[in-house]
Structure 1
Amino acid sequence: MQDGILIGEGVVLDARPASFATRAGGALLDALATVVLFVVTASVVLGTTVDRLNEQWGNTLAVVLMVTFLVALPVAVETLTRGRSPGKLATGLRVVRDDGGPVRLRHAFVRALVGVFELWFTFGAVAMITSLANARGKRLGDLLAGTYAVRVRGARGWERPLVMAPDLAGWAHTADIRRLPDGLALRARQVLDRAARLAPSSRALLTDELAGQVEAYVAPGPPPGTPAEAFLHAVLHERRDRELVRGRAERERAAQRAEVLHRLPYAITDPRD
């Protein structure tokens, strides 16, 4: 069975971790873009306010700019683009969670915060050593955030869409669906996608086995008599919809935070004014 990654939009992606050279190229592009933007912004902001700020407020403004460009900006970009910074977009990469889902605000925040140390303070040395030692090429920020980078260029879509049975929609909407273990949702989605090509006995065996595993993370269980295949469709369909709703909400919050941080330097003025 070909491996794949299930993201919020229900797309299967090439699950192979990106090569070290590709990840390094994307990171260098992101670093270059960050440095250029920081230099330009700092020149404009400090150049227009330095005459009105004393040394203390000038240092504060410099720190605010550094936090904005080293933490806030990467967090906003990864959250809004679902793991595709400009460097990753150029090199055909995406950052995903360990279970294949799209990164959220907390994942992006951990990656950016740890990245200040392992990417900037050590000039990428820690990230390089950690990445080369990990089977999935994870840097330290990925290990702590539960993420990794995969290639998405040339990805293909699922052949069979997820279908919510009308009599299961109400139950699925109110059910407590906990996070599934790494790979379980992916295996279920792959089986459903090729179910029509399986022998009836193999199809029933696989869907029954997967439904039993998935049901342990769903409460309450499905209505009595629900076919295993319909249950899997309903859970993955509802899971995908919740991911999309949560992703939109997090992108909106990230955009609002980015706007506040963007305006913050202009709000710092000399208290003597």
Structure 2
Amino acid sequence: MSPSYTGKSIALPEHRARKRFGQNFLQDDNIIRRIVAAIAPGAGQHIVEIGPGQGAITTPLLASGARLDAIELDRDLAAWLQSRFADVATFSLHQADVLKFDLASLTTSERSLSIVGNLPYNISTPCIFHLLKYQSLIHEMTFMLQLEVVQRLAAQVGDNQYGRLGIMAQYYCQVDHLFDVPPGAFHPQPKVTSAIVRLTPHREQKLVATSTSMLQDVVRTAFSQRRKTLRNCLKTLIQDIKPDDLPVDLSLRPENLSLTDYVNLSNTLSAARQEQ
């Protein structure tokens, strides 16, 4: 995409990437074009960009005519972004921590938000879990993450990376690993390969947990001791239930159960708790 709008010509102040924010700034034009093509922004689309940094993706997103809410924690970068895009009516800047940001303050319309961002490794998992709370408002999410995190999101039963993150993400979303991004695409260069992933919330829930909080408890408890059998790692949750009444083999380990297995198990535990 060749943006028709580039923002005001305002020099970026001397800015050293801050490790505490996990900052690595995207600078490869080809990668930028591929990411924007994957997002496919358009006029009237409501986009939320997390951590816009130096505006590498912000500029072409605004050029599409999309409405953009940018969430930036770094005060210096937030001030610069506000100045650069001050004359764009469709741009709003929120100097805030995304982990504390209420997406419902931006819209009440279901499936109306497209979330994009380059998520630092140290907040990627909590950020995704935070955003999944608002999944009914989200059309899709396109993220740059460390390759390892994307592999965990897309992992299936039997994969080494299979665990809590992938199970809960796949309960709510279709997960698509789009392409990898080499370290050289950033400044400063990270020591790891990154990847672009798309998370698309299910229009119709394929599997329905009676209680999502119970599902989260079961998955979290199971993978907190993933090398133990289910009988041992889930003993606090299943102590009042006969093993024969459970829909899974307790001699298995947590990584041997599919998403369907976890939903069925959590529903059984929810029903048993209501009967008590």
**When the two structures are superposed, what TM-score results if normalisation uses the length of structure 2?**
0.27
More helix by share: 1
Rg (Cα) greater in structure:
1
More relative contact order, 1 or 2 (CA 8 Å, 6+ apart): 1
**When the two structures are superposed, what TM-score results if normalisation uses the length of structure 1?**
0.27
More strand by share: 2
